[in-house]
Amino acid sequence: MGSLADLMTQPFWVWLAVGVVLLAAEAATGSGWLLWPAASAGVVALLSVIGLPLGMPGQIAVFAILTVVTTFLARRYLVRAPAADPDINDQGQRLLGKVGEAREAFVDGRGRAFVNGAEWPADLESGGELKVGARVVVTAINGPRLTVKPA
């Protein structure tokens, strides 16, 4: 059985370690820039395991080329997720567009609406009246009050 130094001189383990370190750094930062170099290091590790005679300079060149190509292709062709709400704790902004129901009759444009599991004081967008149980859609937030319109 060889020593740890002998084990670490094997290209597979070196590239696997590089890939794991890069992947851990990506997980810690969430930048998206280190994912492709980590994957490239994994590919080079696999190439070394199958016995492709590249030598260390060749492996470094393959790693560099794969990193540039995969990063460019990912940035160019992968669809990025839409940006999340600016403040996930701002429940009011998340209510926009939600459908609810009138919990009490709207008289002169004022009443209460049940939206997203909570009851809110609400104003009808166009004023007027609305019966209990009518479906409403949230169109705006004015402090603690919702502005709604019939759904």
Asked whether the predicted pLDDT for residue 124 surpasses 70, the reply is yes
Asked whether the predicted pLDDT for residue 49 surpasses 70, the reply is yes
Q: Domain boundaries in the chain?
A: 8-77, 91-150
91-150, CATH topology level: OB fold (Dihydrolipoamide Acetyltransferase, E2P) (2.40.50)
Say how far apart CA 121 and CA 103 lie, in whole Å.
Answer: 10
CA distances from 1 to 4, 5, 6 (A): 10, 12, 10
Ranking 44-48, 77-81, 120-124 by mean pLDDT, the lowest is 77-81
Q: What is the pLDDT of residue 126?
A: 84
Q: What is the pLDDT of residue 23?
A: 95
Contact 136, 113 (CB under 8 A): yes
